[in-house]
Amino acid sequence: MESSERPDVAGMRAYADELRDMFTRLQDEGLELHARAKAVQATETSRDGLVSVTVGARGELVRIDLDPRIYRRPDARGLADTIAETARRAAATAQERVMKIFEPVIPPDQFKAHLDGDVETVLARLADQMGGGR
């Protein structure tokens, strides 16, 4: 850093360099990473083993498998809760797999904040980097 350069300017330059490098890597590897991420599916099984849920990369429902033994205990609310909880776990697993695919080009915490729509974390990280507080 030049002696006349302020820390905030140096931080902005460093962050701009980081963004440029990330963008270049995304350009180079983006199509392959996108195809791999799009193909992600995750299956989770309920704790009692009676419900299996498969979701896609964005958490969209792909398949539900119900063991016939669920009919021995008719509890519609319990079954619905089990399906929902199992689907949430499957979606979390799928999200982790997608983040892992993009990890070489996007830091996982930054990617997760974007996926979660956590604007505060994204902006806080940007402010830290722009201010040179890295």
Per-residue pLDDT of the chain in tens (134 residues, 90 and over written 9): 455 556 677 777 887 888 888 778 777 777 888 899 999 999 999 999 999 999 999 999 999 999 999 988 889 999 999 999 999 999 999 999 999 998 887 788 888 887 888 888 777 777 776 665 44
Do 116 and 131 fall within a single domain? yes
pLDDT given at position 13:
81
Overall residue count recorded for the chain in this entry: 134
Boundaries of domain holding 96: 37-102
Strand order of the sheet with strand 41-45?
41-45, 51-56, 61-66
The verdict on pTM exceeding 0.85 is no
pLDDT given at position 47:
95
pLDDT given at position 131:
63
CA pair distance 57, 94, nearest whole angstrom: 5
pLDDT given at position 48:
94
Do 97 and 123 fall within a single domain? no
CA pair distance 127, 105, nearest whole angstrom: 20
Do 98 and 108 fall within a single domain? no
Into how many domains does the chain fold? 2
Residue 50 belongs to a domain? yes
Do 44 and 96 fall within a single domain? yes
Go through 87-100 and write b for each residue having 16 or more CB atoms within 10 A of its CB, e for each that does not: bebbbebbbebbbe
Do 62 and 81 fall within a single domain? yes
Do 42 and 91 fall within a single domain? yes
Residue 9 belongs to a domain? no
Do 42 and 98 fall within a single domain? yes
pLDDT given at position 119:
80
CATH of the domain at 89: 3.30.1310.10
Do 42 and 90 fall within a single domain? yes
